Amino acid sequence: MSNIKEKTEYVDLLKKPVNTLAIVPQNKRITVLGRKLYNVMLCIAQEQGIEKEMYRILLSDIVTGLDYGSNDVELLKKHLRSMVSTVVEWQSPTVGEGSRWSVCALIAYAEIVKLKGQNWVEWSYAKPLKQELLEPLVFAKLSLNIISQMRTYAGVVLYEICTRYKAIGRTSRQNWRWWHLVLSGQPNLEKLDKLEKLEYRFFKRDTLKPALAEVCTVTDIEIEIIEHKEGKFITDIQFIVHQKSSTLLPQQSIKKPIDLSVVDDAKKLGLKVENIESLLSTYGDEAVRIALKCLEKRLVSSYPEPLRDPYRYIKAMLTNNLSKHPSDEEIQATIGANIKVNESLNKSAWNDEWIKRRKLEVIKLIDELSEDEMNDLVLQFNNFLVNTNAHPSLIKRLKLSGWQHPMVKYLMIDYYAIATIGEYWNTPSPSDLLDIASQICNPQAIVP
């Protein structure tokens, strides 16, 4: 490789061509990490100029949380390899907009080279698309810093598309199955009968609502869904887009666009890279980070028994915490309206509500114990109170009235939750708060 003198900084603003906003992979899944990395590389290439054939930057300038002398770089190699081999349809979210429709790989070439103890990534683009990618005439202005805060693929894509329509106020109208393909990141290899069997209500519950909540809470825009019907059935959807005022924007520190520190933390706890990425793609960085803290505490505890499978444990914990979906009548875009009223008060209310529900979950787990397990738990809890010099009245109430006595109950909940879930059992992640917010906000009906 020739002498490397390229700029190693990145700018926050990406001019992303409209034809790259609604890409649909044809042969491989695109993950949220892969999409973030692609955006960063495209932004850097635009900054370095269209006249170059190859683009280069230090990995340490765009990625944090990796030991660059270890096999952690394999994760990035995997995503670069995927970009070269993933064939996508390039299309604008507006019919007829953009200069062309194309089928092409995300990038033409990629290589990681170690030079003087530093890792550099080098890549290029296919010539037919290079002009449109690096000097687009029609584009969306995206903040890489905002995208770095987001956790879901659907959320990132919805933010990118809706940002394109800030000045217009609403996106184009498309069949909801078109949105499903664009927001899923999954290859368009599904059989038609399988796609036909997919119901809108499940797509809305599992994909649209979490993405709406994330966009409204994390980004600089607020969006609302419009559903268009033919008879009784919803056929098309589009989104109303509002720009937030500067006083309503979430406070976010500037960071490197790709943060993989959670990968290193998870590997130290015995998780495989492929499992880590699966968790990150499904639940996001912050949720996994919180779950890893709980896993770390659980691994050193032998109660109620030694942990045999860390991956199954952390996956079950994330699933239980993050899979609670709101009803079809609720709509998550109203989080933005709540932020307008008082963001800090809302977050406090969401936190209180999450903790309330979390305690009910722990109580349910205790109630499901067998009689022998319950007796053993009460005995251990009693010993715990004695060993920690708890007030004698608490020990007395436990013996006379059982653990559900009001003076004892909250201590038992905390004791059992720490032993089975971890020290941070009552600390919600941003993902948890998003889910709670989507369920307790008062939805505003939008008439098609």
Tens digits of residue pLDDT in 371-429:
888 888 899 888 888 888 888 888 888 888 888 888 888 888 988 888 878 777 888 87
CA atoms within 13 Å, Cβ hemisphere of 200: 15
Residue 274 covered by a domain = no
Name 119's bridge partners. Answer: 114
> What's 208-262 look like in SS3?
HHHHHHHHHHHCCEEEEEEEEEECCEEEEEEEEEEECCHHHCCCCCCCCCEECHH
Residue 220 covered by a domain = yes
pLDDT of residue 448: 30
Average of per-residue pLDDT across 4-18: 68
Query: What total number of domains does the chain contain?
Result: 1
The parent domain of residue 23 ranges over: 13-248
Residue 238 covered by a domain = yes
User: Looking at residue 214, which CATH number applies to its domain?
Assistant: 1.10.10.10
Residue 280 covered by a domain = no
Alpha-carbon distance 317 to 322, whole Å?
A: 9
Residue 344 covered by a domain = no
pLDDT of 51 > 90? The answer is: yes
Tens digits of residue pLDDT in 152-203:
889 999 999 999 999 899 999 999 999 999 998 888 655 444 555 678 988 9
Residue 410 covered by a domain = no
The two beta strands, 63-64 and 258-259, are parallel
Average of per-residue pLDDT across 135-154: 89
Give the chain's radius of gyration (CA, Å).
Answer: 25
CA atoms within 13 Å, Cβ hemisphere of 276: 21
Residue 292 covered by a domain = no
φ/ψ of 402, rounded to 5, equals: 85, 175
Tens digits of residue pLDDT in 297-333:
777 776 566 777 888 888 877 776 544 433 333 333 3
Distance of CA 207 to CAs 6, 35, 158, 184, Å? 40, 17, 10, 8
Tens digits of residue pLDDT in 58-100:
888 888 765 555 556 777 888 888 899 988 877 778 766 655 5
Residue 262 covered by a domain = no
pLDDT of 48 > 90? The answer is: yes
Q: 285 or 149: whose pLDDT is higher?
A: 149
Region of residue 159 (phi > 0: left; psi between -120 and 50: alpha; otherwise: beta): alpha
Q: What is the mean pLDDT of the chain?
A: 78
